[in-house]
Amino acid sequence: MNSAVKTYKGYEIHPLVYPRRPAGAQATRNPGAGYDASVRICRVGANPAADGRVFRLQYLFPFDGMGKARIACMAHAERLIDGQVSGQSVTDL
């Protein structure tokens, strides 16, 4: 999934999209439940697993498609990097 990685102002953005599992749900896949998303951000050239940080996207409703979730990840990451998300920052990465 490296093709989904984007660089922005010296940071790598890794979208993380996964099937939604509502509280108390069975451990089976239900594509109709939609998707949740997070984004991992690290400096360009850093090890994302060791030197990055994951930020979960907080939406009331699940995304109805993986593509929409990825687009939201990228937009959220850019706002984070630009310092436009209250209470979240990447300045110490």
Residue 1 has a pLDDT of: 42
SS3 state at 36: strand
Q: What rounded mean pLDDT belongs to the chain? A: 87
> Going by C-beta distance under 8 Å and a sequence separation of 6 or more, which residues neighbour residue 40?
13, 14, 16, 48, 52, 53, 54, 55
Residue 19 CB burial class (10 angstroms; 0-12, 13-18, ≥19): middle
Residue 29 has a pLDDT of: 63
Q: pLDDT tens for residues 2-47?
A: 457 899 999 999 999 998 876 665 666 666 788 999 999 999 999 9
Does pTM surpass 0.75? yes
Q: Which residue has the higher pLDDT, 3 or 57?
A: 57
Residue 30 has a pLDDT of: 64
